[in-house]
Amino acid sequence: MIRAILTDIEGTTSSISFVKDVLFPYARAQLPAFVAAQGGQPEVARWLAATAEEAGLAPDDHAGIVATLQRWIDEDRKITPLKALQGLIWADGYASGAYRAHVYPEVAARLAAWKAQGLELYVYSSGSVPAQRLFFGYSEAGDLTPLFSGYFDTEIGGKREAASYARIAAQIGLEPGQILFLSDIVEELDAARASGLRTTWLCRPPLACPADPAHACVADFDAITP
């Protein structure tokens, strides 16, 4: 019996376009000024140092670090320091009203219905946990954060690694088979299933489920019956 739902964001609750065409360009454009103004703040300095280490750069090479981060954004790399810094930058955009996070039309009501029927709801995204809280706090459907019991990011492990899902199940405190993972990426679903989680594949239009899908496949949350 399913006791909890663990959901991906990009391509699952929300459009890929909002992340790639709104959030990523905003972070890319703001990065140089953000690093210049806030590079000395301990949290920012920690992630800049992690970026330098990952890229083999000197810790004080801010120009090189910014260029590296911008290249990683262009390549859509899911690297923890990049994701942490993006989250810090996006906070200003949400607070100023520059954008609100897209969620597909049925998502808020369906999440609320699952919560009302006793399911616990969790998020697992490559976006940092603070970025996830902002995303659902400033969504087009309003503040959805009261619906969620917890958030996981790549600090628990990569989304294509089975061990990450075992760690998440242990942190949630449920058997893996009691958790339903929702994602648009088959490699993530394969990893979750390898650790015993139940899986459902979101193929949002204009995509369509293949004839013989590798995972239970739906077009939207209304078609999911946990």
Ligand X SMILES: CSCCC(=O)C(=O)COP(=O)(O)O
The one-letter amino acid at 20 = K
44 binds ligand X (CB under 6 A): no
Taking the complex as a whole, how short is the minimal distance between the CB of residue 31 and ligand X, in angstroms? 14
Give the position of tokens 């619906």. Answer: 147
Give the position of tokens 């920012």. Answer: 44
217 binds ligand X (CB under 6 A): no
User: Angle at the Cα of 167 (from 123 to 184), degrees rounded to 5?
Assistant: 40
7 binds ligand X (CB under 6 A): no
CA–CA gap between residue 60 and residue 183 (Å, rounded):
38
Residue number with CB closer to ligand X (61 or 80): 80
9 binds ligand X (CB under 6 A): yes
Among 4, 19, 85, 192, binds ligand X (CB under 6 A): 19
23 binds ligand X (CB under 6 A): yes
CA–CA gap between residue 150 and residue 133 (Å, rounded):
10
Tokens describing residue 33 = 């000024």
The residue sitting closest to ligand X, measured at its beta carbon, is 127
Taking the complex as a whole, how short is the minimal distance between the CB of residue 35 and ligand X, in angstroms? 18
Rg (CA), the chain: 18
Binding site for ligand X (CB under 6 A): 8-11, 19, 23, 78, 83, 86, 125-127, 131-132, 135, 159
